[in-house]
Amino acid sequence: MEMERVQTIASVCAANGAMPPEFIRSEHEQPGITTYRGPAPEIPVIDLAGADQDQLTIAVAEASREWGIFQLLNHGIPGEVIRELQRVGMEFFELPQEEKEKYAMVPGSGSLEGYGTKLQKELEGKKAWVDFFFHYVSPPSRVNHAIWPKKPADYRQVNEHYGKHLACLVDRMLMALSRGLGLGDNVLKEALGGDGLEQLLKINYYPPCPRPDLALGVVAHTDMSAITILVPNHVPGLQVFRDEHWIDVNYVPDAVIVHIGDQIEILSNGIYKSALHRTTVNKEKVRMSWPVFCSPPGEMVIGPLQQLVGDESPPKYKAKKYKDYAYCKLNKLPQ
């Protein structure tokens, strides 16, 4: 069965100006109605330049307790490496449709990887205004280069380069988060499988949309990962649910966005929060984003860290294998 890509639908819409009804959200989801218009607080922006380990720990831990999402400046990933990541991803999505379809995900194959249009069944059967590409970046045993785009020719080299820089940043974040819980530097990382931690890259491609007030890109969710590091392009669209309002995340040039995912919320027994977020789309511009979901191996059992539970703080979450957690989340079953 030929899958209709949002990118293809969008090019038809651009010609005739019409909005396909299957993308029109009910009112309680429409961004035109539900986006907060008042003076909204900005999500924390943490500048790592000149910050010593203690300052970093305090800032990261506070942002993760209060928000579960923050932006990072001077994060150590060179600007050139990020621009290259963006360039090769953009060039892939600009390839002819038949070329992209060579990488199409096979629904029901058990593999998450490849080019696709919709992963989750959504409430009310509405469609999400986004196409995407998924592939693992690390560890080497998880990486299947056969599914990585072969065009542009330097896609692989650029993404491997980015992955190496990213791994350093993830290590720094996990260390700060671990210290922020009063634990040893390596406790969180070890609980997530150490160097077995898996990095899954997703490229989101949100084409221009005739009625961005009515549609959503990615619907409201928390990431099931441990931590997600996201590179956006310059088009805003990410929103976070805060104090009962959907608020826009500003575009901060050169920043990367860090999401606390469900697994760190669980390990921290709820001290750190996995932020509820969604994305809106744009009338004229293509929005893109490059989240890397960092997750434990599927066999790893994740539950509240024993150092954090006691008589006064009973466990708030069940311990279970990450693959079972993921199965329940993807199939909308109770955890």
Ligand X SMILES: O=C(O)CCC(=O)C(=O)O
Contacts to Fe ion by CB under 5 A: 223
- Beta strand spans in the chain (E): 45-47, 69-73, 114-116, 131-138, 198-206, 227-232, 238-242, 245-248, 256-260, 277-279, 287-295, 301-302, 320-321
Annotated catalytic residue 221: yes
316 is annotated as an active-site residue: no
Binding partner of residue 279 among Fe ion, ligand X, none, CB under 5 to 8 Å per kind? ligand X
Closest approach of Cβ 282 to ligand X, in Å?
12
Which does residue 71 bind out of ligand X, Fe ion, none, counting CB within 5 to 8 angstroms by kind? Answer: none
* Closest distance to Fe ion from the beta carbon of 295 (Å): 13
Candidates 150, 165, 221, 320; catalytic one: 221
Q: Of 287, 284, 203, which Cα lies nearest the Cα of 248?
A: 287
Q: Among residues 84 and 223, whose Cβ is nearest to ligand X?
A: 223
CB-wise, 283 or 318, nearer to ligand X? 283
d(CA 238, CA 232): 9
Residue type, 162: Y
213 carries an active-site annotation: no
Catalytic residue among 100, 127, 273, 277: 277
Pairing of strands 45-47, 69-73: parallel
Q: Which does 208 bind (CB under 5 to 8 A by kind): Fe ion, ligand X, none?
A: none
Sign of torsion, CA 307 242 240 48? Answer: negative
Measured from the CB atom, is 73 or 220 closer to ligand X?
A: 220
Under the rule (CB under 6 A), what is the footprint of ligand X?
Answer: 202, 204, 218, 223, 230, 232, 238, 277, 279, 289, 291
274: partner contacted, choices Fe ion, ligand X, none (Cβ within 5-8 A by kind): none
CB of 145 to ligand X, least distance (A): 23
d(CA 335, CA 314): 18
The answer for residues whose C-beta is within 8 angstroms of residue 41's C-beta and 6 or more apart is: 242, 247
In degrees, to the nearest 5, what angle opens at C-alpha 121 toward C-alphas 43 and 91?
65
Q: Of the listed 131, 223, 248, 262, which one is catalytic? A: 223
Q: Residue 230 touches which of ligand X, Fe ion, none (CB < 5 to 8 A by kind)?
A: ligand X
Rounded (5°) CA angle 160-130-89: 25
Residue with Cβ nearer ligand X (132 or 317): 132
Do 157 and 168 meet the contact criterion of CB atoms below 8 Å apart? Answer: no
Q: How many residues does the chain have?
A: 335
- Of residues 175 and 293, the one with the C-beta less far from Fe ion: 293
Using CB distances below 5 to 8 A depending on partner kind, what does residue 263 bind out of ligand X, Fe ion, none? none
Is residue 277 part of the annotated active site? The answer reads yes
Choose between 239 and 269: whose C-beta lies nearer to ligand X. Answer: 239
Q: What's the closest the beta carbon of residue 192 comes to ligand X, in angstroms? A: 18
To ligand X, the closest distance from the beta carbon of 152 in angstroms equals 22
Least distance between ligand X and beta carbon 230 (Å): 6
- Cα 157 to Cα 137, 151, 163: the distances in Å are 11, 11, 10
Which residue's CB atom is positioned nearest to ligand X?
289
Decide the pairing of beta strands 287-295 and 198-206. Answer: antiparallel
First-to-last C-alpha distance (Å) of the chain: 33
Q: Which residues are catalytic?
A: 202, 221, 223, 277
